Amino acid sequence: MSEHNEIDRVSGRSTTGHEWDGIKELNTPLPRWWVLTFYATIIWAIGYWVVYPAWPLVSGYTTGLFQYSTRASVATDLADLEKLRGEKMAVLGNASLADIEKDPALLALARARGKTVFADNCAPCHGSGGAGAKGYPNLNDDDWLWGGSLDQIMQTIQFGARSGHAKTHEGQMLAFGRDGVLKKDEIVTVANYVRSLSGLSTAPKFDATAGKKLFTENCTSCHGDNGKGNPELGAPNLTDQIWLYGSDEEALVETITNGRAGVMPAWVGRLDPVTVKALAVYVHSLGGGK
Amino acid sequence: MNKPVPPDELMTDEDGPLYAPRKKVYPQSVSGRFRSIKWRLMAVCLGVYYLLPFVRWHRGLGAPDQAVLIDFPNRRFYFFFIELWPQEIYYFTGLLVLAALALFLMNALGGRIWCGYLCPQTVWTDLFYAVERLVEGDRRAQIKADAGPMTAKRAGRRALKHAIWLMIAWWTGGAWVLYFADAPTLVRDLATFQAPAIAYVWIAMLTASTYLLAGYMREQVCVYMCPWPRIQAALTDEWALNVTYKYDRGEPRCSVKKAFDIRSLGEKAGDCIDCNQCVAVCPTGIDIRDGAQLGCIQCGLCIDACDAVMTKVSRKTGLIGYDNDINVQRRVAGKQEIFKPVRARTVVYAGLITVVCAVMLYALMSRTLLDVNVLHDRNPIAVRLSDGAIRNGYTLRFLNKRGFDRVIAIDVDGPADAKLHVIGADSVTPDRPMIVLARDTTTELRVLVTAPLDERAEKSVPVTFRVTDIGLGEVASATDHFVLP
Ligand code: SF4
Ligand code: SF4
């Protein structure tokens, strides 16, 4: 540094030798408190290395004096949150489903809770907004295989459909083709008849009388005389516009030939009762509930 | 005017020390025009700060009656008749813009007026200096005492000074937290140790920072820490008035007697008698006669000091005053001094201030107290019902900014024959759902709009939700789209 010990004549100080546009930088000493503060931060930083996890090593890292771990503290926070949530949700546990729907505050609480639980557990099948997909019912419409009242929805969530749980919904769509009950052309006829029930177009050579006869013999025991379905058996309404597996002839032939038996798992035991309640209220409020 | 350092005072040490201890400043007490302005401004600033939380403002039952309150838990800001919600945070942006513009205007007119008179650092430091002088005596007494040994009497005074400082600092921190909760209640809770821990933490932090900054850091905050001196240097221009030593009048400095002799010979002598009073009173310990400099906070105290000296030696006052280099040059050239407070820069700042004020005032006057927002369901965007009708789901958020509950009706204008279903509606008169909006809250509801399918209809038609306050007739609406699958 000694090669630039030029002295500024005004201040009497040496300059650093740096110069910008003719303005020279004075070599002014730093204030002592500033320097001390700077050293203090360095010492603080070293303390930090010792106390907290800091340095990556080849197969690990320095863990620090107190084994502090963000992962562990997140786990604690989550546990605390669960506890707090349990306390908040307790009011839902004490209220009946109907009461919850009537009280705006409870409804908002149940919907908020239901929404997150739905996203975690139900969205993989029913979609994040409950819109469903082929084979997975849309929960926003007004067509319900197993009934759309609050209680019915709650029951379906609890025990599922064909889930193996003792109280689960049972009911099978028989495999009329595979089991040899109906022949190929008969199945096509029934499929066209079913389409006609909801006002859809039918094949040109379709024999309506034969279709009705085959339907009455094979299908009415579950779907009812007029094809309106039966929620007790999970038999869908065949006269409306909503088709779980599709409404074209090919899809219907497939359904009648091989049968359908979609499975909904039972959630009792996996979700606590209050959560199930909140979920039922949420699903009901999606728009489809009756 | 900077004068060159005599050769024997030049630093011989090559690079100088790396760091240096602070030279303690002992500002002498002074009285005069600017000092009394400073006293008054201090009284106003501190008065507002300490007492404002106790001012009451009646807002009706259940609402806080504190005139100025930042209510974090409920996310409200109350300022006399104004109540702001979090989404109205832009008013604060407006206030910050205003503050910046006001600072620019002050700067263009009179340099660092803010620094010298209004900055909290200045106000509290000034107060702390006053306490120090009251307890330990004026400049001379302090310097003498610091040079002498520590006696019991001196130690006692020291202790008293720090006790008073700490009390002021503590009260400063205490007043701060009062802006965040009902002041009288909080005072009681604080005294009985019932207040939330965060209140004590804030009081402790502000006590410590006030004590340290005003008691110890003092001018060092202005010189080393504060960015404003650097910024304002870029904002100022040659017309701005700054505290200036009028060297055209002061130089050459000489004693009264010598000046008298020189003048009697018919030659020009400077008015400055080199009494150093202006340096003695300066709270940042600088010599204004060296010219405009970073350390000067433009407090004007040196003006008061020099005016007193000038009066004593029967010369015209104003050897130091608010002035600029242009006038120094003009006086040297024998021309009239001119002052130009109205110039492009100040007009633009003042104009901008007016515009921002007007915009904020307009926004404040025309803000709605009933509002509705709509959010369309994204997934599914539309649902086909069993009878073929189409349904769209929306989330409506209502804002009731009034201090009382109100009943509102919800109507929908959308596709032909659209039906509205509100989930959780409090009462349903035929086809007109009504709900109660609790006072000063937002309410979120899910609504479904169902319309029969019309194959010829557009894929998307606008749908408007109208909410009407049944009692007051206030109306708000929000528009979105009704979509076909
Ligand atoms: S030089 Fe004068 S105006 Fe500047 S800080 Fe010192 S006393 Fe105040
Ligand atoms: S107070 Fe006035 S006369 Fe005395 S040294 Fe300062 S400028 Fe000169």
**Residue A70 CA, distance from chain mean position:** 27
pLDDT of B1: 44
Distance CA A12, CA B11 (A): 5
pLDDT grade, residue B8 (50/70/90)? Answer: low
Q: What mean pLDDT is predicted for residues B309-317?
A: 90
A2, A127, A242 ranked by CB distance to B379: nearest: A127
Identity of residue A91: V
pLDDT of B427: 67
Q: State whether A33 and B379 contact (CB < 8 Å).
A: no
Identify the residues whose C-beta falls under 6 Å from ligand 2.
B 245, 250, 272-278, 289, 305-306, 309, 319-320
Q: Could you tell me if A6 lies within 8 Å of chain B, comparing CB atoms?
A: no
User: Which A residues 190-229 touch B at CB under 8 Å?
Assistant: none
Q: Could you tell me the two tokens for B334?
A: 């024998």
For the Cβ of B280 lying below 6 angstroms from any atom of ligand 1, the answer is no
Among A9, A23, A197, A283, most B C-beta atoms within 10 A, so best to mutate, is: A9
Distance CA B458, CA B79 (A): 49
What residue's CA is closest to ligand 1, atom 7?
B282
Range in B20-29, B115-124, B154-163 with the lowest mean pLDDT: B20-29
pTM recorded for the entire structure: 0.77
Nearest CA among B405, B397, B376, B375 for reference residue B467: B397
pLDDT of B368: 84
Q: Which residue of A has its CA nearest to B444?
A: A108
What residue's CA is closest to ligand 2, atom 2?
B306
State the alpha helices, DSSP H only, in chain A: 32-51, 70-94, 97-102, 104-121, 123-126, 150-159, 184-197, 208-218, 220-223, 249-258, 273-283
Query: ipTM score of the complex?
Result: 0.76
Q: How far is A174 from chain B (nearest CA, A)?
A: 24
Q: State whether B13 and A14 contact (CB < 8 Å).
A: yes
What residue's CA is closest to ligand 1, atom 5?
B296
Give contacts of B20 with chain A, Cβ < 8 Å.
Answer: 29-32
- Residue A264, strand partner residues: A161
A207-249, pLDDT tens digit by residue?
Answer: 889 999 999 999 999 999 888 999 888 899 999 888 999 889 9
* Whether the bond into B252 is cis, omega within 30 of 0: yes
Q: Are B256 and B296 in contact (CB under 8 A)?
A: no
A107, A130, A143 ranked by CB distance to B386: nearest: A143
pLDDT, greater one: B8 or B220? B220
Whether B383 has a pLDDT exceeding 60, the answer reads yes
A100-148, pLDDT tens digit by residue?
Answer: 888 888 888 999 999 999 999 999 999 988 988 899 999 998 889 999 9
Give contacts of A27 with chain B, Cβ < 8 Å.
Answer: 15-16
pLDDT of B125: 95
pLDDT of A155: 94
Q: How far is A16 from chain B (nearest CA, A)?
A: 8
E strands along A92-172, which residues? none
Give contacts of A147 with chain B, Cβ < 8 Å.
Answer: none
pLDDT grade, residue B106 (50/70/90)? Answer: very high
Q: What mean pLDDT is predicted for residues B158-183?
A: 95
Nearest CA among B290, B289, B294, B298 for reference residue B271: B289
Give residue A287's region: left, alpha or beta (phi > 0; psi -120 to 50). Answer: left
For the Cβ of B298 lying below 6 angstroms from any atom of ligand 1, the answer is yes
pLDDT grade, residue B40 (50/70/90)? Answer: very high
3-state DSSP call for residue B398?
strand
Distance CA A231, CA A244 (A): 14
A10, A27, A128 ranked by CB distance to B15: nearest: A27
Q: Are A246 and A134 in contact (CB under 8 A)?
A: yes
pLDDT, greater one: B406 or B12? B406
Q: What value does the mean pLDDT of chain A take? A: 89
pLDDT of A123: 94
Q: Which residues, at least 6 apart from B20, have a Cβ–Cβ distance to it below 8 Å?
A: A29, A30, A31, A32
Distance CA A206, CA A208 (A): 6
Q: Which residues, at least 6 apart from B193, have a Cβ–Cβ distance to it below 8 Å?
A: none
Q: Which residue of A has its CA nearest to B17?
A: A29
Range in A179-193, B363-377, B427-441 with the lowest mean pLDDT: B427-441
Distance CA A137, CA A289 (A): 13
pLDDT of A204: 86
A61-97, pLDDT tens digit by residue?
Answer: 888 888 888 899 999 999 999 899 888 888 888 889 8
pLDDT of B232: 85
Measured in angstroms, how far is the CA atom of residue B246 from the centroid of ligand 2?
11
Identity of residue B339: F
Distance CA B5, CA A135 (A): 93
Which of B246, B272, B303 to mutate for ligand 2's pocket (most ligand atoms within 8 Å of CB)?
Answer: B272
Q: Are B304 and B33 in contact (CB under 8 A)?
A: yes
Distance CA A63, CA A51 (A): 8
Q: Could you tell me if A241 lies within 8 Å of chain B, comparing CB atoms?
A: yes
3-state DSSP call for residue A219?
coil
Whether B65 has a pLDDT exceeding 60, the answer reads yes
Report phi then psi at B441, rounded to 5: -145, 170
Q: What angle do CA A216, A217, A222 make, to 5 degrees?
A: 70
Q: Which residue of A has its CA nearest to B5?
A: A10
Distance CA A101, CA A88 (A): 17
Q: Could you tell me if A25 lies within 8 Å of chain B, comparing CB atoms?
A: no
pLDDT grade, residue B46 (50/70/90)? Answer: very high
pLDDT of B387: 85
B379, B388, B423 ranked by CB distance to A128: nearest: B379
Distance CA B212, CA B172 (A): 13
Measured in angstroms, how far is the CA atom of residue B217 from the centroid of ligand 1?
17
